Structure 1
Amino acid sequence: MDAAAAARDGQTALALRLAKHLAPPPATAGGADDDDASARGCGNGNVAFSPVSVHAALALVAAGARGATLAQLLAFLGAPSAEVLADFSRRVADRVLADRSDAGGPRVLFGGGIWVDASRGGLADAFRDVAADVQKSEARTVSFAKEPEAAVKMINEWVKKATANLIGSIISVDDINGDVDLVLANAVYFKGAWQSPFITYETWTGAFHRLDGVVTKPMFMTGFKDLNVACMDGFKVVKLPYEPGAAPASQQRKRRRGRGAASKSKATPSAPEVDEGTRYSMFVFLPDAPGCLSTMVDMVTASPAFLYGVLAEMKTRRVKIKLPQFEISFSWSDLKRDLSRLGLSLPFSREAADLRGICEVVDDDAAASARRPTFLSKVAHMAVVKVNEAGTDAAAVTAALYGGGRPPDTVEFTADHPFTFFIMEELSGVIVFAGHVLDPTK
């Protein structure tokens, strides 16, 4: 496996680990052990998050990490080296998260913000360059100690603008204390139209069976469509494609000129030599029985190879689909705890974190500098996903503080019980949003 493919698989693996971590445990199906479910950020509530946003935030931290802290971040993100991780992050920002709305594709917004306390003396030049070049992050100097309200207002106004007003804030004054020297944030906004929209007058109320046995009445989008679908042992998966985003005209000309050479040396899906545009789709994973969500999630999230294998099994068939409209607003108030549970601990350790590459050293006294370490005190994440007949509206922010007869061969896809979804850019294999819908009326 080449380095670019390894970095892509690392991002996919992180997405799958987080999806499994946020899935309701089996006991929730019987209404028990809700405390454990709450500790994992779920329960009977819906979950949505952006793996690409979390990955980008941690990749930016890695750019300023050293020693064992950098090694742990690279292992956690599945990247062979800091250089490979930076190159992968650049490709994601430049191509996967490029706005294609002018070409009829999804509207995508991505960018970062860095706010550093004036007392730290500013960002190190090398870190600033990586932040600007790789993740389109702008740096600003604030005073967290003297003017916390102004700093918080600046950060939240940036978040609101970056997510097209879907997310109004990510931090509060309560998050700012004497330990906070630095806030890193990135935002991802996605709005895509279905390639085959649902017909509004074929949407009506139906029964949805929650894990705890309660029946709710959401609005279901319905129809017969030719869709890619796979029927596996224990679950089905269907692909709902969005209108594709074309590459810029200059890139299309390069692609045509390079077709002959491409036959001799094919680029990997995760690192195309030419901007091929984007191809986004939502993949909906539906267990065969209402109480089998956790079993299905365990299977699907076992490894990137298993997920890719399932998607490779998909074939175009006539599908009778019934999918609820849903709108999820999910706040992951302290991602730090969950990342620590999953094995990422050093960046959060006051004693052991080595993030000396982020800020300039303003004190020549090495002992004094050592008394004020840079570490991550908090990581917050918020995501909003809206799905209706026309398509999907979604945003995420991650912040780190420092009737009739059935036609032949038709597949019934009736999502009237909890399911999992991934929004993926297929040319790269990058999972941009993911979540679990446990009650579409919430």
Structure 2
Amino acid sequence: MDLRQLISNQTDVALSLSKHVALTEAKDSNLVFSPSSIHVVLSLIAAGSEGPTQDQLLSFLKSKSGDELNTFSSEVVPVVFADGSPSGGPRLSFANGVWIDKSLSFKDSYKQVVDNVYKAASNQVDFQTKLIFLALVYRMLLNNGMFFMLMASLKAVEVIQEVNSWAEKETSGLIKEVLPPGSVDSASRLILANALYFKGAWDEKFNASKTKDHDFHLLSGGPVKVPFMTSKKKQVIGAFDGFKVLGLPYKQGEDKRRFSMYFFLPDAKDGLPALVEKMGSESGFLDRHLPRQKVEVGDFRIPRFKISFGFETSKVLKELGVVLPFSGGDGGLSCG
């Protein structure tokens, strides 16, 4: 297994997915999401799939086999997503969870993958127990009463609460709902989930007293006043054809890993869609466009920002050709 090539492949998948989400689901809004989380969940599905469903997932993830995906995850995830806070680096939580109906059980081979490769917490739950109740509806226009028999899956509601509580715990309270009301019912049999939490401190903090309001140009064309951070220190910046890239390193302490946040800024005020298209279409784009050296800067400003975003992942994946896992029935799944 060529680990470098696999990392390059998964980076291409992440950028392609990001491009599609940015240009469709988030074309009129800010965007934040974790391609790595989607990759891991799809890998878990691939590990429990067979036939055309697994082939479709492997093709999308640019992998030769389920074993290759599992090996990749077992090599990369424990290193990249380990918590660095004990050694002075960023605080990280990357958790996987599996909830399966109590009427089913995992195949031993799949349970091994869930437990040992993805370190996922596996839980047996009850999706199917139903609460039956009567609702009296008084219809004033007809001046008569009418009874309706309603059935609701009480246990499905409890499962939603359990999964959302798990996500809230794993993200230190930042994500309170991954499953909205009604997303699970008595027909549900399996839930796969991933939660990612990252908290890091800049290697060189910005002086809050120097934060001032400046114009931020929207894609719609108009500017708005927002607070910008600034600094006179050297910065990790690279200039390329049509855009610039800024890298802001996080404190790493004794952590041997090096995390940075990268800002890609198009030269044209309306150049973001074209830059996103370029990033998601050219293989190896990031490898060729990440700056390494600090340089002198003149007028240097970064807007302060806070982003919240959500989208229906299965819809996006179906638009990108991953249809069979969401086509109804067992979808080729054979994990239980």
TM-score past 0.5 threshold: yes
Query: Is residue 210 from structure 1 mapped to residue 218 from structure 2 by the alignment?
Result: yes
What is the aligned counterpart of 1:143 among 121, 126, 130? 126
| CA distance in 2: counterparts of 1:218 and 1:166, whole angstroms | 24
| CA distance in 2: counterparts of 1:240 and 1:81, whole angstroms | 36
2:318 aligned partner: 340
What is the aligned counterpart of 1:316 among 291, 294, 311? 294
Residue 49 of structure 1: CA displacement? 0.6
**Contact 2:127/2:187 (8 A) holds in 1:** no
Query: Is residue 48 from structure 1 mapped to residue 32 from structure 2 by the alignment?
Result: yes
| CA distance in 2: counterparts of 1:245 and 1:78, whole angstroms | 35
| CA distance in 1: counterparts of 2:200 and 2:307, whole angstroms | 16
Q: Residue type of the partner of 2:277? A: D
TM-score, L = length of structure 1: 0.67
Residue 109 of structure 1: CA displacement? 0.5
Query: Is residue 227 from structure 1 mapped to residue 235 from structure 2 by the alignment?
Result: yes
**Contact 2:33/2:309 (8 A) holds in 1:** yes
Query: Is residue 106 from structure 1 mapped to residue 125 from structure 2 by the alignment?
Result: no
Residue 156 of structure 1: CA displacement? 0.8
**Structure of higher CA gyration radius:** 2
**Contact 1:229/1:316 (8 A) holds in 2:** yes
**Contact 1:245/1:278 (8 A) holds in 2:** no
Q: Residue type of the partner of 1:107? A: R
**Contact 2:37/2:195 (8 A) holds in 1:** yes
| CA distance in 2: counterparts of 1:180 and 1:352, whole angstroms | 11
TM-superposition CA deviations, 1:406-436 (whole Å, max 9, x none): xxxxxxxxxxxxxxxxxxxxxxxxxxxxxxx
2:193 aligned partner: 185
TM-superposition CA deviations, 1:30-75 (whole Å, max 9, x none): xxxxxxxxxx211331000111111111111111011221121111
**Contact 2:17/2:280 (8 A) holds in 1:** no
**Contact 2:156/2:186 (8 A) holds in 1:** no
| CA distance in 1: counterparts of 2:16 and 2:174, whole angstroms | 26
Query: Could you list the runs of 5+ residues in structure 1 that have no partner in the other structure?
Result: 25-39, 248-276, 360-442
Residue 80 of structure 1: CA displacement? 2.2
Pairs within 5 Å for 1:122-271: 122-146=105-129, 147-244=155-252, 246-247=254-255
Q: Secondary structure at the match of 1:22?
A: helix
CA gap of 1:326–1:117, structure 2 versus 1, over 3 A, is same
1:59 aligned partner: 43
Residue 173 of structure 1: CA displacement? 3.4
Over the aligned positions, Cα root-mean-square deviation in angstroms equals: 1.6
Q: Residue type of the partner of 2:191? A: V
Larger RCO: Structure 1 or Structure 2 (Cα < 8 Å, ≥ 6 residues apart)?
Answer: 1
**Contact 1:72/1:346 (8 A) holds in 2:** yes
1:405 aligned partner: none
Tell me the percent identity: 37
**Contact 1:301/1:307 (8 A) holds in 2:** no
Q: Secondary structure at the match of 1:47?
A: coil
Q: Residue type of the partner of 1:290? A: K
| CA distance in 2: counterparts of 1:161 and 1:81, whole angstroms | 33
2:136 aligned partner: none
Residue 6 of structure 1: CA displacement? 2.8
Q: Secondary structure at the match of 2:44?
A: helix
Residue 351 of structure 1: CA displacement? 5.6
**Contact 2:97/2:192 (8 A) holds in 1:** yes
Q: Residue type of the partner of 2:124? A: T
Residue 314 of structure 1: CA displacement? 4.6
| CA distance in 1: counterparts of 2:254 and 2:37, whole angstroms | 23
Q: Which runs of 4+ in 1 moved over 6 A?
A: none
Q: Residue type of the partner of 1:126? A: S
**Contact 1:113/1:137 (8 A) holds in 2:** yes
Q: Secondary structure at the match of 1:290?
A: coil
CA gap of 1:9–1:245, structure 2 versus 1, over 3 A, is farther
What is the aligned counterpart of 2:270 among 264, 280, 291? 291
What is the aligned counterpart of 1:301 among 263, 271, 280? 280
